[in-house]
Amino acid sequence: MRSGSRLERVLRSGRFAVTAELNPPDSADYHSVFERALVLAEVCDAINATDASGANVHMSSVGVCALLTRAGYEPVMQVSCRDKNRIAIQGDLLGAAAMGVRNVLCLTGDGVQTGDQPEAKPVFDLDSISLLRTARMLRDDGHFLSGRKLDVAPKFFLGAAANPFVPPYDYRPLRMAKKIEAGADFFQTQYCFDLPRLCEFMSAVRDLGLPERAFILVGVGPLRSAKAAEWMRSHIPGVVIPDKIIRHLKSVPESRQREEGKRICIEIIQAVREIEGVNGVHVMAYRQEELVAEIIEDAGLLPRRIIGQRIQPGPCEEVID
């Protein structure tokens, strides 16, 4: 145990973990954070607090984590390198640890051109790998990047992102290995809508022995409609949605597309559970916390348990024929 976090305990026990994203409000009101967290906390092992994802301003990850830890919830603080230099990031990590944050997801961050303030000046003093090394140094060596000693070192369970769904495909497992060497204890992937591609990725990951060195949570999420799916793959960096899924949604009446998107997500979760080396899922649904709870329950993830019985469809089969 590196951190004593609930998420780390769940993963190390062999149980199938579930995390989800809490989408921070465009507000200074803490009530909306607690309302969303209450829904997710009943069905998740940890709640991700995003850090200006998509380069759009929302309540800060540090602020959301402060509220979550105050209420006794288990946060995963996302840290992006886009907006802060190494001085500010190291300070935020210590402050988060003092508030009780034990899980940290280290991200390079989307470019400012993807957000609604493209004139902002990006920082990128660190990237995801150097950020992992920095957080590991604080935790394991007890000193800053400058070499100055800490009085008390933080305890972190360190995470990183992985995207098996964008080329170059053969490089993705190698980059994961680099992140493990830098300090990653667990991974959360980008949305999975392509099960065969995920299976190929996991085969390469297993060949490298990476599941013995880090835990892997596969990103999943519902599609509200065919139109929403087309928007996501055009506007959200790294999201890949196969044409056949969009064609399938279009074949369903608009009034039923949301329910069909939910059904597809549940089938993907059930298939992902059967893939060797996968330790959990990370559920993402922008400002649809109630839907996340429904998906987790309907997918049979409550209560948490070690997977036994095989679930159809097979893990490497398409959920859309």
Query: Angle at the Cα of 77 (from 73 to 81), degrees rounded to 5?
Result: 170
Closest CA to 109 of 66, 171, 56: 56
What is the reported pLDDT for 246?
Answer: 96
Q: How far is CA 160 from the centre of its chain?
A: 8
Q: How many secondary structure helices (H) and strands (E) does the chain include? A: 11, 8
What is the reported pLDDT for 308?
Answer: 34
Q: Do residues 78 and 51 make contact, with C-beta atoms less than 8 angstroms apart?
A: yes
- Pair of tokens at residue 231: 């928007």
What is the reported pLDDT for 315?
Answer: 59
What is the reported pLDDT for 54?
Answer: 87
Going from N- to C-terminal start, the domains of the chain cover 6-298
Cα–Cα distance list, 174 to 80, 171, 201 (Å)? 22, 5, 11
**Architecture, CATH, for domain 6-298:** Alpha-Beta Barrel (3.20)
- Taking only Cα atoms into account, the Rg of the chain, rounded to an integer number of angstroms, comes to 19
The one-character DSSP state at 85 is -
Residue 97 to residue 157: CA distance in whole angstroms: 11
The parts of the chain modelled with pLDDT lower than 70 are 303-321
Residue 207 to residue 209: CA distance in whole angstroms: 5
**In 3-state terms, the chain is what percent helix, strand and coil (to 5)?**
45, 15, 45
What is the reported pLDDT for 286?
Answer: 79
- Pair of tokens at residue 159: 């995470």
Return the number of other C-beta atoms located less than 10 Å from residue 17's C-beta. 24
In DSSP notation, 273-299 reads TTSTT--EEEE--TT-HHHHHHHHHHT
| Residue 103 bridge partners (DSSP) | 76, 157
What is the reported pLDDT for 321?
Answer: 56
Q: Which residues, including other chains, have CB under 8 Å from residue 266's CB and lie 6 or more apart?
A: 295, 298, 299
What is the reported pLDDT for 273?
Answer: 95
Residue 277 to residue 220: CA distance in whole angstroms: 16
